[in-house]
Amino acid sequence: MVKIYSNERFNRLPDAILFDTDNTLYPYDPAHTAAQQAVKDKVVNTFSIKPEDFDKAFTEARQQIKTRLKHTAASHSRLLYLQRMLEIMGLGSQVLLALDFEQTYWRTFLSNALLFDEVKELLDDLRLLGIPTAIVTDLTAQIQFRKVVYFGLDHYFDYMVTSEEAGFDKPHEAPFKIAVEKMRPKGDCIWMVGDNPVCDIRGGREMINAVTLQKIHEGIELGTGENAPDAAFHEFSELRHLIARLGGGI
């Protein structure tokens, strides 16, 4: 069952629902771990270096990029991390290798990424009820589009907003407000479904007064205080039951 903490916010169906992608529609960590290991193995073998040398250079590169680009889509760019890593290793930018390593990462990532159960069924339920849906996600448009197509979700969502399009990562107001502008819901009851208590939950509530629902699974802790959700759930089947109940189906 969905654990509801703000009963007064769940007395009707939503006019629209926003969904985060990474670690909300699928578990992020298994895919990332496999992808990072594949890149590490390839770099270690290509340059005959120690694994710890890769770890040190990559960590430094990632930190430098994030410090420089802060809360923008490009701050998540695997390609920029790998380019900078090669430079830190004293090899120059090596753009062809950087591209190759990036492709290794995302190819491995996607092959190890699995949707949570009943995501598509929930989206079908929402479509039948005429409730518009949108993805609001950080990262660059190309890879997030690729994920959606890979999962076969491209015909399930009405709209998509990436932080590359918005110019800012969540919890900035821009991604949320652009999504709502695109969806043009008939009312002001907007749900935000995500895993991150700051970016998705607090951001959704503060920026568009969204009813917030946190996806809980391994590695995710329930938000507290100003990051507390209006409701939390473990399985998408639970969300389907809630939607059905609010719609008079149960």
Q: Give the DSSP per-residue string, 109-176.
A: HHHT--PPTTHHHHHHHHHHTT--EEEEE-S-HHHHHHHHHHTT-TTT-SEEEEHHHHSS-TTSHHHH
- pLDDT 10s digits, 193-229: 999 999 999 999 999 999 999 999 999 999 999 999 9
Q: Assign residue 225 the CATH number of its domain.
A: 3.40.50.1000
Q: Which of 58, 87, 111 is the last residue of a domain?
A: 111
Q: Distance between CA 101 and CA 98 in Å, rounded?
A: 5
Q: Which of 111, 129, 145 is the last residue of a domain?
A: 111
**pLDDT for 170:** 96
Number of domains the chain contains = 2
DSSP, res 73? G
Catalytic position from the list 15, 22, 158, 195? 22
- Is 154 a known active-site residue? no
- Is 20 a known active-site residue? yes
- pLDDT 10s digits, 12-56: 999 999 999 999 999 999 999 999 999 999 999 999 999 999 999
- pLDDT 10s digits, 69-97: 998 999 999 999 999 999 999 999 899 99
CB 208 within 8 A of CB 188: no
Question: Are 105 and 215 in a shared domain?
Answer: no
- pLDDT 10s digits, 110-165: 999 999 999 999 999 999 999 999 999 999 999 999 999 999 999 999 999 999 99
Mean pLDDT of the chain: 96
Determine the structural domain holding residue 160 and report its residue range: 3-27+115-246
**pLDDT for 249:** 59
Q: Classify residue 56 by burial, with Cβ atoms within 10 Å: 0-12, 13-18, 19+.
A: middle
**pLDDT for 248:** 77
Question: Are 61 and 175 in a shared domain?
Answer: no
